[in-house]
């Protein structure tokens, strides 16, 4: 059904190296869990520059690109896939604006950071890019399928 499809939308959320080192991983996971989204993949890894260049391929011409790759490869990240209705759009809203100076209090960036170059988290900007990013960061075996007991009450 249409409703079942909507609940299966997925987004790629990543805690960046600064978020990991500042100990905000649990806080970010908690916000998505509390909202009612379902965690379907999660791992800590230290991405290579080559991997990050693929992830950020659209930004390769930007002046901040080398600094971005440097920052993102400076330590481990926590990569996640979250599932639920409108999760791509809602995930972006929960993260807040890219530049923390523009992000509202109550959002993750609005509550935890100041600098665009250290904005602690990433979230896919569209359903299509979410699919690409989940495919880049996770193998099919790493994506879990299970029935969340909250499910029938969240929807």
Which of 114/154 has CB closer to ligand RTP?
114
Backbone torsions φ then ψ of 105, nearest 5 degrees: -55, 145
d(CA 46, CA 97): 25
Residues 84-123 that bind ligand RTP (CB under 6 A): 98, 116-117, 119, 122-123
Q: Which of 33, 86, 111, 125 binds ligand RTP (CB under 6 A)?
A: 125
Q: Which is nearer to ligand RTP, 39 or 97 (CB)?
A: 97
**Closer CB to ligand RTP, 73 or 148, in the complex:** 73
CB-closest chain residue to ligand RTP: 98
- DSSP E strands: which ranges in the chain? 10-15, 38-45, 77-83, 121-123
Residue 11 found at the interface with ligand RTP (CB under 6 A)? no
Q: Which residue in the list 10, 16, 92, 122 is annotated as catalytic? A: 122
Binders in 44-63 for ligand RTP, by CB under 6 A: 59
Active-site annotation holds for 122:
yes
Calculate Rg over the CA atoms of the chain. Answer: 15
Work out the burial of residue 48: count CB atoms within 10 Å of its CB; fewer than 13 is exposed, 13-18 middle, 19 or more buried.
exposed
Contact criterion met (CB below 8 Å) for 28 and 19: yes
| C-alpha–C-alpha distance, residues 29 and 26, integer Å | 5
Instruction: State which residue, 66 or 106, has the beta carbon closest to ligand RTP.
Output: 66
Name the site residues for ligand RTP (rule: CB under 6 A): 59, 64, 68, 98, 116-117, 119, 122-123, 125
Any idea which residues carry the catalytic annotation?
122
């Amino acid at each position: 059904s249409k409703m079942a499809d909507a609940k299966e939308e997925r987004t790629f959320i990543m805690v960046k190296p600064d978020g990991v080192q500042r100990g905000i991983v649990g806080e970010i996971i908690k916000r998505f869990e509390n909202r009612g989204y379902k965690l379907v993949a999660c791992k800590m890894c230290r991405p290579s520059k080559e991997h990050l260049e693929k992830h950020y391929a659209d930004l390769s011409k930007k002046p901040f690109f080398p600094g971005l790759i440097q920052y993102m490869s400076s330590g481990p990240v926590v990569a996640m896939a979250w599932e639920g209705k409108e999760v791509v759009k809602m995930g972006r809203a929960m993260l807040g604006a890219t530049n923390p100076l523009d992000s509202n209090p109550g959002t993750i960036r609005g509550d935890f950071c100041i600098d665009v170059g250290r904005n602690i988290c990433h979230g896919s900007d569209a359903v299509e890019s979410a699919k690409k990013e989940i495919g880049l960061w996770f193998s099919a075996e790493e994506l879990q399928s299970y029935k969340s007991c909250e499910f029938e009450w969240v929807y």
